[in-house]
Chains A and B, each alone.
Chain A
């Protein structure tokens, strides 16, 4: 006789405005089983899990717990049904101890000693290492994650959902976590782990469900799956896009990055020995799972991120002289005569000032021009009007604050400004994120025009179809390492997908099984 699954989803659909985040998703998780949910960024994994944990409410579909249909309207309901979610971003209070965080929000008698004993009991049951009295701010990321997991166990959860738990862990910590998860599985808990790392799926899960662009694709038995079959299910068939791609004309080396190492604010290594060359008249694509170091790479080149070691060299197209850009501020880079344009990922944070109008935002690049104490407003005004006209920016006027414009129009203003500076290197991070089809194509055309002008374009993207059809070469990075450089004209999505999820870290696959 087959047991009722711990949790079962039937035909779950969720839309945000016009975007379909989940469409007719079916999922079944049994007790004593680890289920992996695999998908690219934006495939709807987290949205789906947020519906189970009560953060979002599905538009249609049914959720069953132990065979009974339930309505999960809030995180409280989900606790009631024994569902515990461990988010990617920890919800912990830094100055409180582990035990204090674990009992936070509970009612009844307040006895931190007893709570600490219970925490220690749970920890020893599953093989966690934790000091209940340790303050969160003194903990490593993996210790914080342990606190989060114990928090849901303390509240009696027997269905655990972990949202990309290994993204922040070292291979050794991942191995430890997996050992704990296996013990929980033996204890009869149902575990769902969201991930996009294929080798982890293969090492930890019993079954794997694949999502792609909000659609439920299939559920596979892990023992029958291989990296190749999973990649194919995850990235799908190639969709042809109609982007005109000219062949590069006499490419020459423009920007040379060598052995770049960077450390982020938390002290983790985000770029490890990154080397590549961007050539003039060529679009270099950068592919990778979000947060693999793309942002830091571009910011390091732009002079916004501290570089631990390595070299960034710029070859001047006129003189052929090599300039070192490392450890220079954006101002110093500009004074060297390097014409570097940067379209950052965070448009209204780093790119434009939301409460200023289009003209003033143009001036952010030209305010040093002119000799008198007064600003010259004519040139930026002309430029703003020119961009509005040529890029078809939909705005009431050039004096409208940019935050009132739609995402696509904001991006046109930003890209327009950066291109107007006649750059020799143009870096764009996710320039079409959140844009509709027409705006996206306009951006692709602008990038192509720049390429034909002889600019070295660096394009960080997430849609593999676009990367393959737009770029000339694609640099793939995985957790801060360059995992490959491929020719966009001959590569396949599967090849890039495998490179994105490939880990170059010291032979971890073996350890994970231990």
Chain B
């Protein structure tokens, strides 16, 4: 019995861990989209967020006096700052200059991943490392710390308390976003802006302010996802964050624009992502043909396509994307 429980906990913990970057990215994208902005730059934002944190952690690790608190705080601040800059670039282009959102987003993805790769490669060179990645083992060890009593509480403790603090942060952020969107005046105004900016404007809501704030906050949350990924992998290696960014955007649709549903969606995506790794680890005594792992790696993408088909076919109005998603708003166009 405990064997099966252990397996379940292992699979679940693995799924949550894998899904966490997607959850951050997707929570950020949801509040951005709720303001009517389709930010396809999320993979780039996550890359910049990740590399900002990693670079800061890398240099702080080499400093003489190390303080655990600063070791956590500085990379987090750097991540938030890096992704905020990306959010501001996106906002300036799409809100102020009313550039095409799709093109801007895609450009930002290319740009962000490029920035990540550039600094990643530079630091690998600087550290004269034999490796192909930037290692931040010390920092990630601090970030990976869990509650000491978790393992003593048996099954419940393992299930509920054995995660890193950023996991709880991610879930709390998603829940807070869901609450704000549904239950507060700010959320009501934000939804109005994304649905019908002209009406929101006429009601005295500062449309551009809402668009800027939600897009920038969304980018910062997504950036945290990029950093989480780097912590999980103990460092930065080039070109690895992109797929998580795209899955985050897919998860937004899967979760029908609700951050609380995105939590479960992220666990599912996390599970599917690592299916190829999990199946043999479960020692289920099933013989798979050679090369099966390649097939399993495709599963999350296939599921995403299926989910897109299902959600697009559903007719309920509440489950549809915000009505003015992807459209620029200009008062005098009315």
Contacts and interface: CB of A to CB of B under 8 A. Distances in A.
B188 A110 contact: yes
Given A95-B317, A95-B318, A100 B195 contact: no
A105 B200 contact: yes
A105 B202 CA distance: 9
Interface string B189-209: 101100110111011110000
B294 to A, nearest CB: 42
Contacts of B317: 94-95, 135, 137
A95 B188 contact: no
A398 interface: no
A109 to B, nearest CB: 8
A163 to B, nearest CB: 14
A371 B198 CA distance: 49
- Summarize B's interface: helix, strand, loop or mixed: helix
B185 A110 contact: yes
Contacts of B191: 93, 95-96
Interface string A348-390: 0000000000000000000000000000000000000000000
Contacts of B100: none
Contacts of A95: 191, 195, 317-318, 320, 323
Interface in B300-327: 317-318, 320, 323
A135 B323 CA distance: 15
A76 interface: yes
Given A96-B192, A100-B188, A105 B203 contact: yes
B184 interface: yes
Contacts of A96: 188, 191-192, 195
A92 interface: yes
A104 interface: yes
B177 to A, nearest CB: 16
Nearest to A100: B188
Contact of A105 (B183, B204, B323): B204
Contact of A91 (B184, B188, B198, B318): B198
B16 to A, nearest CB: 32
B192 A104 contact: yes
Point out which of A92, A103, A105, A110 has the most chain B C-beta atoms below 10 A from its C-beta: A105
B33 to A, nearest CB: 14
B41 to A, nearest CB: 26
Interface in B200-243: 200, 202-205
Contact of B202 (A91, A100, A103, A110): A91
Interface string A60-77: 000000000000000110
Contacts of A93: 191-192, 195-196, 199-200
Interface in B266-321: 317-318, 320
B204 A75 contact: yes
B185 A92 contact: no
A116 B96 CA distance: 36
Contacts of A92: 196, 199
Contacts of B204: 75-76, 105
Nearest to B318: A95
A103 B188 CA distance: 9
Contacts of A103: 185, 188
Interface in B156-195: 183-185, 188-189, 191-192, 195
Interface residues of A, number: 17
Q: By DSSP majority rule, is chain A's interface helix, strand, loop, or mixed?
A: loop
Interface string A310-354: 000000000000000000000000000000000000000000000
Contacts of B188: 96, 100, 103-104, 110
Which bracket fits the contact residues of B? 20 to 34
Nearest to B322: A95
A105 B195 contact: no
A50 B30 CA distance: 37
A109 B30 CA distance: 25
A107 B205 CA distance: 10
A91 B202 CA distance: 8
B184 A110 contact: yes
A352 to B, nearest CB: 20
A96 B323 CA distance: 12
B327 to A, nearest CB: 15
Nearest to A92: B199
A135 B195 CA distance: 13
B203 A91 contact: yes
A165 B203 CA distance: 20
A135 B184 CA distance: 18
Contacts of B320: 95
Interface string A81-100: 00000000001111110001
Contacts of A76: 204
A104 B205 CA distance: 8
Interface in A120-137: 135, 137
A75 B323 CA distance: 25
A94 B205 CA distance: 17
A93 B207 CA distance: 14
A91 B143 CA distance: 49
A104 B189 contact: yes
B192 to A, nearest CB: 5
A419 to B, nearest CB: 33
A304 B183 CA distance: 45
Contacts of A137: 317
A94 B195 CA distance: 8
A498 B60 CA distance: 85
Nearest to B204: A105
Contact of B189 (A75, A91, A105, A135): A105
A75 B200 CA distance: 13
Interface in A234-279: none
A46 to B, nearest CB: 14
Given A105-B205, A137-B317, A94 B196 contact: yes
**Most chain B C-beta atoms within 10 Å of own C-beta, residue among A95, A107, A110, A135:** A95
A96 to B, nearest CB: 7
B233 to A, nearest CB: 40
A75 B184 contact: no
A126 to B, nearest CB: 22
Contacts of B196: 91-94
Nearest to B188: A100
Nearest to B323: A94
Nearest to B186: A110
Most central of A93, A110, A135 by chain B CB within 10 Å: A93
Contacts of B200: 93, 104-105
Contacts of B195: 93-96
B153 to A, nearest CB: 39
A94 B323 CA distance: 9
A33 B205 CA distance: 33
A92 to B, nearest CB: 6
A119 to B, nearest CB: 15
B199 to A, nearest CB: 4
Interface of B: 183-185, 188-189, 191-192, 195-196, 198-200, 202-205, 317-318, 320, 323
Given A91-B198, A105-B205, A110-B185, 5 more contacts: A92-B199, A93-B192, A95-B191, A105-B189, A105-B203
24 contacts: A76-B204, A91-B196, A91-B198, A91-B202, A92-B196, A93-B191, A93-B195, A93-B200, A94-B317, A95-B317, A96-B191, A96-B192, A96-B195, A104-B192, A104-B199, A104-B200, A104-B203, A104-B205, A105-B192, A105-B204, A106-B185, A107-B185, A110-B188, A137-B317
Interface of A: 75-76, 91-96, 100, 103-107, 110, 135, 137
Nearest 8 pairs of A and B residues by beta carbon: A105-B203, A110-B185, A105-B204, A91-B199, A104-B203, A93-B195, A93-B196, A93-B192
